[in-house]
């Protein structure tokens, strides 16, 4: 059976880095964030909803003006929540359609807001990537050229990373003392076995 696996973690925890290692092992990975960016342009219902709630001018020649949309939701939790409520359902549907077409032993859906969006429903297991907050802040500042305050503001919009880890079935440690490749390999073997056994317990 094709197991459906979620992969999540706090901002900058290393979700994408871990997902790329699974991809090297031949595991198909759905990246929810980049999928939603595609759906902004390709999903007619989402486009209509965004125009209705945020104004026609967020699209210029049918291309989303991401900066304008970001400026509308920045610092406004209610508008950000509305945006998430509009974007998550089509992304969940898109992920489900993508998963149905896969034939691997297991597939991975990588999503920062796996629990917040409700998209955890329908998944067999969830893997969390756990990284100390100070290291996450440092890595995102380096990766994005962002200030500490900008990173902290992004983190404040997600549920606490440690709480997320308690909701996961498996946790990969991505601190400076741990190597992630052996952890991914060990998990890969376990998940292959579970798929072969038809086991989702």
Ligand X SMILES: Nc1ncnc2c1ncn2[C@@H]1O[C@H](COP(=O)(O)OP(=O)(O)OP(=O)(O)O)[C@@H](O)[C@H]1O
Are 3 and 195 in contact by the 8 Å Cβ rule? The answer is: yes
Q: Supply the minimum distance, in Å, between the C-beta of residue 44 and ligand X.
A: 27
Between CA 24 and CA 189 the distance in angstroms is 14
Between CA 165 and CA 171 the distance in angstroms is 7
Q: Supply the minimum distance, in Å, between the C-beta of residue 112 and ligand X.
A: 5
Q: Supply the minimum distance, in Å, between the C-beta of residue 31 and ligand X.
A: 9
Which residues lie near ligand X (CB under 6 A)?
Answer: 9, 11-17, 112, 139-140, 143, 174, 180
Q: Residue 26, annotated ligand binder?
A: no
Q: Residue 9, annotated ligand binder?
A: no
Measured from the CB atom, is 2 or 167 closer to ligand X?
167
Q: Residue 8, annotated ligand binder?
A: no
Q: Residue 13, annotated ligand binder?
A: yes
Between CA 188 and CA 190 the distance in angstroms is 5
Q: Supply the minimum distance, in Å, between the C-beta of residue 181 and ligand X.
A: 9
Measured from the CB atom, is 6 or 9 closer to ligand X?
9
73 membership: H or E segment, kind and range? helix 66-73
Measured from the CB atom, is 121 or 179 closer to ligand X?
179
How much is the CA Rg of the chain, to the nearest whole Å?
A: 18
Strand ranges inside 10-124, DSSP E? 29-31, 59-60, 63-64, 106-110
The CA dihedral of 83, 111, 130, 164, to the nearest 10 degrees, is: 60
Measured from the CB atom, is 2 or 141 closer to ligand X?
141
Q: Supply the minimum distance, in Å, between the C-beta of residue 18 and ligand X.
A: 7
Measured from the CB atom, is 187 or 195 closer to ligand X?
187
For the chain, report the end-to-end CA distance as a whole number of angstroms. 13
Q: Residue 195, annotated ligand binder?
A: no
Rounded alpha-carbon distances, angstroms, from residue 62 to 43, 51, 86, 101: 11, 11, 18, 29
Numbered residues of the known binding site for ATP? 12-17
Numbered residues of the known binding site? 12-17
């Amino acid at each position: 059976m094709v197991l459906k696996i979620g992969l999540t973690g706090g901002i900058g925890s290393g979700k994408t880095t871990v997902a790329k290692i699974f991809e090297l092992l031949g595991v198909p990975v759905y990246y929810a964030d980049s999928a939603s960016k595609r759906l902004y342009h390709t999903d007619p219902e989402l486009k209509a909803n965004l125009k209705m709630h945020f104004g026609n001018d967020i699209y210029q020649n049918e291309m989303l003006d991401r900066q304008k949309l970001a400026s509308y939701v920045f610092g406004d939790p209610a508008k950000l929540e509305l945006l998430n409520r509009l974007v998550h359902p089509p992304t969940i549907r898109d992920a489900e359609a993508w998963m149905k077409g896969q034939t691997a032993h297991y597939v991975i859906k990588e999503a920062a807001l796996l629990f917040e969006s409700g998209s955890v429903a329908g998944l067999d297991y969830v893997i969390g990537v756990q990284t100390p907050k100070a290291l996450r802040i440092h890595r995102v500042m380096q990766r994005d050229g962002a200030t500490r305050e900008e990173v902290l503001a992004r983190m404040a919009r997600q549920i606490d990373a440690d709480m997320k880890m308690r909701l996961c079935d498996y946790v990969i440690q991505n601190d400076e003392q741990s190597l992630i490749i052996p952890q991914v390999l060990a998990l890969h073997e376990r998940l292959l076995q579970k798929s072969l056994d038809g086991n989702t317990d």
